[in-house]
Structure 1
């Protein structure tokens, strides 16, 4: 097994999360066999323990951009709008603390934020006008409906997962992947397999879902076949696999069977090894 990445792939503190007991599959599900193999080459750690509202903020910032772009935006937002982070920054710089700091939580601060200032703060994440409007709207709704970020966090952690997911999806700007990330990384819910662009591509390439399946169909296929306790680490490990072995632009299998650790478990949908040609799995279905 490789060492755990220096940075938490799901965002947040590198030491956050819990380790999942690794049990080899019984061979009845190829999807579980893939999860087991990913657990062998990467990690069996399910990241979690993050504050639900901050997790929501981070996931919104990460939409349609890379971690390299969204992480600085998250850090700048937290420093400017989160009272605890702002006070810590002042202490480290030797600046005088404002005694009024810390009286409101992050959701309340963002609900009252000026959109142009918030957009400037998160500009590195891209689509900053759209994302700033979404964050202000979500912060206002969470403050009004739940009373603040602590109450929202309690709701995410303790209520029925289906009810939490429905409530999140009812919020404009929150899609299935964002809702599932909040359930997994903040709620600590097992059996949740968020589907981002990497997971969507790889699950169809492997043949674990129909080649033309949309994100929701891929999620349903994976959650039906991967044991609940393995979904969390399989999600993050599959993202890492997509970055290292099976990106949209380069596929390790074109360098030979020995180059890809999942070669024997993969249908290689859309991959023509002889012609060294690769198309999206959905396009392969049209051939």
Structure 2
């Protein structure tokens, strides 16, 4: 991380703007959190990730746009979902957040599906977005009312309300809480975080996404959860990939090898297994 990355106004913020989990379009700002003496291995991992990539404070993104953007990112990559988000905003945003919610609530499903086709699963996602927009308009009076609820409501109530919405799972709800509400202590779990936390031994090998979230949020200080999430995603892309983690060929090729249990990774044989399967296999033996 550059020396001035801690300046909230720094122009060389190291997090890539195209990362849908944050960046220039994500409402976050560069910040500095002193590592100190970590109270858990999970915190030590997050501290190391912060040194390797970035430390950011999140919050400030419009709640409804954040919800739409996260739905678009489901089961696809940033490379695919980013142009879909941009096309949606170009076609349906009338200059205000409430215009966006009202436009999407009244949108033709096929036209919206065509607009967001780059994101994949566009028929399913277009139906979800239209339904969500209608619910936001009906229950909160529009995007502004929903945004206020997300930013000022009790976090547990906000999360519960989000999870009641069709197509909104724990990761989507947590992303809205983090990137819009700026809530501390929220560690969204995507496929990268789920894999890495179990592989490193930061969560039980057989933990589901919620189990991993609970383990990380308990072990990582609230103010570090946000950048822990985004930096761990980047680490998963660069070093700890699903089929070929860096340590497989060279244990010293991973900057976190000294903090990792390598559950399911065997550099000696060159094999990689899901942590749950690896532990299950050990138990059978």
User: TM-score, length-normalised on structure 1?
Assistant: 0.90
Paired residue for 1:219, among 205, 213, 222?
A: 213
Q: How does 1:234-253 map to 2 (within 5 A)?
A: 234-253=228-247
Encode CA deviations 1:105-140: one digit per residue, 9 max, x unaligned. 111110000101001111111111110000000000
Q: How does 1:173-184 map to 2 (within 5 A)?
A: 173-184=167-178
Q: How does 1:183-198 map to 2 (within 5 A)?
A: 183-198=177-192
Encode CA deviations 1:152-172: one digit per residue, 9 max, x unaligned. 001100011001000000111
Whole-Å separation in 2 of the counterparts to 1:133 and 1:173: 10
Displacement after TM superposition at 1:47 (Å): 3.3
Give 4+ residue runs of structure 1 displaced > 4 Å after superposition. Answer: none
Is 1:69 aligned to residue 80 of structure 2?
yes
Q: Secondary structure at the match of 2:217?
A: helix
Q: Secondary structure at the match of 1:83?
A: coil
Displacement after TM superposition at 1:14 (Å): 4.9
In the alignment, what sits opposite 2:155? 161
Displacement after TM superposition at 1:19 (Å): 3.3
Paired residue for 1:268, among 262, 265, 268?
A: 262
Whole-Å separation in 2 of the counterparts to 1:152 and 1:235: 24
User: TM-score, length-normalised on structure 2?
Assistant: 0.91
Q: How does 1:82-93 map to 2 (within 5 A)?
A: 82-84=93-95
For the 8 Å contact 2:97–2:144, the answer to whether it is kept is no
Whole-Å separation in 1 of the counterparts to 2:99 and 2:257: 48
Q: Secondary structure at the match of 1:65?
A: coil
For the 8 Å contact 1:31–1:222, the answer to whether it is kept is yes
Encode CA deviations 1:198-231: one digit per residue, 9 max, x unaligned. 0000000000001110000000000000000000
Q: What residue ranges of structure 1 are gaps of 5+ in the alignment?
A: 85-101
Is 1:60 aligned to residue 65 of structure 2?
no
Displacement after TM superposition at 1:256 (Å): 2.0
Whole-Å separation in 2 of the counterparts to 1:235 and 1:161: 18
Q: How does 1:102-121 map to 2 (within 5 A)?
A: 105-121=99-115
Whole-Å separation in 1 of the counterparts to 2:195 and 2:34: 26
Is 1:228 aligned to residue 222 of structure 2?
yes
In the alignment, what sits opposite 2:6? none
Q: What residue ranges of structure 2 are gaps of 5+ in the alignment?
A: 3-12
Distance of aligned partners of 1:219 and 1:246 in 2 relative to their CA distance in 1, 3 Å threshold:
same
Q: How many residues align?
A: 270
Superposition RMSD on alpha carbons, in Å? Answer: 1.6
Encode CA deviations 1:260-280: one digit per residue, 9 max, x unaligned. 000000000001110011011
Q: Secondary structure at the match of 1:285?
A: helix
For the 8 Å contact 2:62–2:97, the answer to whether it is kept is no
Please identify, of 133-142 and 17-26, the stretch whose mean Cα deviation from structure 2 is larger: 17-26
For the 8 Å contact 2:50–2:231, the answer to whether it is kept is yes
Displacement after TM superposition at 1:282 (Å): 1.3
Distance of aligned partners of 1:114 and 1:149 in 2 relative to their CA distance in 1, 3 Å threshold:
same
Paired residue for 1:256, among 241, 246, 250?
A: 250
In the alignment, what sits opposite 1:128? 122
